[in-house]
Amino acid sequence: MLVPAYLRDNLLPTLRVAGWSNDWFAGFPILYFYFPLPALTIVLLDVVLAYGVAFKLATILGLLAMPFGSYFLARQVGAPRLVAAMAGVAGGTFVLMESYAIYGGNIKSTLAGEYSYSWAMAFGLFYLGALLRDARNDRNFSPLAALMLAGMALSHIIPTMVIGGASVLFLLYRRRAQVLTAWVLGFALAAFWVVPLFATIGFTTDMNFSPLRGFDSLSGGPIPTELWPLLPLAVVGLAWALWKRYAVHVIAVITLLPLLAYPLLDGKLWNGRLLPMWFYGVFFFAGLAVGLGLLTVVRWAPRHLAVIGAAAIGGTALLILPTASGLEQSSGWAQWNYTGYEVNPNETPGNGPWLEYQALMNTVDELPPGRVMWEANSEMDRYGTPMALMLFPYWSDGHPSMEGLL
């Protein structure tokens, strides 16, 4: 909540998108090391929407774009509309995964605050599709791939590293000049933020997360239980797509690279953050398998609508049920996150968490300027989040927040 508002009120009026804020941690570089495009979008939406509505809408845009990006990408690899539609269903189903909550790309990660990652993944799908279209077809240069590359780079660095790195393989296509032009233009559009990021990357801290080593659900590894029914379908989909000569080579690399790198990474890049692209690839190729199977049924029995309908329902169920049947936390978590501070399940008329919270913020707002120190406490979750008091500077000018032991 604080960062887009700070961007709107303090940085953009001085024609900057990054700077220094004293609102948290006794001072920190704001938007130097985190990605500005979602925050800029919130500020833009805030022109016509209430700030809270703009913020909530921006957090889900990446998730909403995933099925459309999957359909677009499948069409560009050469899949017919029916097959691409099933790939779109698969892309939309991927975001429902509940086996992880902080890696990025799915609903739970978005609710945990990783919404920029889903933005970058969605941009990445459109980037790959546009670049593939330009590389394979004899047509004039289109700026779409460059715009999508810039959007991806300004949304999250990890999908940009994997997807952008794998797209080097597009140089093997005949129209490599189109590819190079898209790269140059895309990174030029993002350079105003990307160049300072790499120039100052040495000032970042190492969170020193221990790398994941297991492969099952309990260890947070790359083969959670909900993926088991889809893995055989994904293998069939990849093999079938290659046999049909769909241009899926780069997508296969993006899918398999995180899996191969998973046991090897042991540094600042936490291996768990790469796994969403492996998970997505499994869903995408499973969607191709179901779509190609459905297309075969349509061609085999074009006039048997009951058979086609049963195949369509069965194929869709194959993609959705392994994930949807295990949905337990996302719905309640989303309701908790998006209800807002004012409406709280614990609220009672005339007395409740929001009224306490509002009274506290109003009291602090009347105090002289100064840093407000507070101690973390699980009971603060009743206000909507245990981090609710980090918003002292959002509700009250001149009162930075400092969390710690008193």
Residue-wise pLDDT for 344-376, tens only, equals 555 555 557 888 899 999 999 999 999 999 988
Residue-wise pLDDT for 249-280, tens only, equals 999 999 999 999 888 887 677 888 899 999 99
Q: Is the dihedral of CA 12, 15, 16, 20 positive or negative?
A: negative
Please work out, in degrees rounded to the nearest 5, the angle formed at the alpha carbon of residue 73 by the alpha carbons of 107 and 58. 35
SS3 content of the chain, % helix, strand, coil (to 5): 65, 5, 30
- Number of neighbours of residue 175 by Cβ within 10 angstroms: 16
Q: In this predicted structure, what is the pLDDT of residue 217?
A: 61
Q: In this predicted structure, what is the pLDDT of residue 65?
A: 98
Residue-wise pLDDT for 25-78, tens only, equals 889 999 999 999 999 999 999 999 999 999 999 999 999 999 999 999 999 999
Residue with tokens 């392994």: 322
Q: In this predicted structure, what is the pLDDT of residue 284?
A: 97
Three-state DSSP state, 373 = strand
- Assign 3-class secondary structure to 238-257: HHHHHHCCCCCHHHHHHHHH
- Report which of 331, 381, 341, 324 is spatially closest to residue 90, judged by C-alpha positions: 324
Which parts of the chain register pLDDT below 50?
none
